[in-house]
Amino acid sequence: MKKNRTILILISSVLTTILAIGLFIFFLEVIKNKNEHASAVLTTLEDKMKEKEDAMAFAGKITEIKSLQDYINSHFLDSNKVDTFVDYLEGIGSNLGSLVSVKSIEISSKTENIISVKLLVSGTFQEVMETIAYLENIPYQVNITQVYLNKNSDQTAQGNVKAVEQSKISSASTWQADVSFDILSLN
């Protein structure tokens, strides 16, 4: 009987050990599966975060491209806004002290996207030259094709040279410039 009891204890010990090992393997597999699941979730989360960062970078690039496009378009004249451009040109003259009047604006039929503009600039020599220099540097793509400078003197030739010199000293002479230029247009 003692032998049976010893065998029974041995069998129960072996079964308990096998059961403990089985439970240990079961819990080890559960932990392994949870670890794989957590790893997959983390990988998916990292991918989503990367996609979100890429989308934000893409949106930033779109904004940057839009501002660059607006900057480039500001160097071209929109043919639908010629009246605003004429006001701008006349405003240049008043800001610099000269009188700028637009003689003609032609949309060229032989060359695409070119608008030809002819101006008459009046004022003192310095004012006229400053206006021409400013026109060369306006924030548009401009190609000045012709500039004619004329001095308007209202004095007539008189026999008395001294009187003519006195009138030249007392009144500033008026200059005129006929300026023709081509400007690139969007349309």
Is the distance from CB of 187 to CB of 131 less than 8 angstroms? no
Residues 142 and 89 in one domain: yes
pTM of this prediction exceeds 0.85:
no
Residues 85 and 173 in one domain: yes
pLDDT, average across residues 9-31: 93
End of a domain among 36, 52, 73? 73
End of a domain among 22, 56, 73? 73
Give the per-residue pLDDT at 165.
53
Reply yes or no on whether the pLDDT at 83 is more than 90.
no
Domain range for 128 is: 79-155+167-184
Q: pLDDT tens across 104-144, in order?
A: 888 877 777 888 899 999 999 999 999 999 988 888 888 89
Residue ranges of the alpha helices (H) in the chain?
2-73, 82-96, 125-136, 161-170
At residue 132's C-alpha, the angle toward residues 127 and 138, to 5°, is 120
End of a domain among 48, 73, 98? 73
Element (H, E) at 183: strand 174-184
CB-neighbour burial class of residue 82 (10 A; exposed 0-12, middle 13-18, buried 19+): middle
How far, in Å, CA of 83 to CA of 78, rounded?
A: 10
Q: pLDDT tens across 31-77, in order?
A: 999 999 999 999 999 999 999 999 999 999 999 999 988 877 776 77
Residues 43 and 61 in one domain: yes
Query: How many domains in the chain?
Result: 2
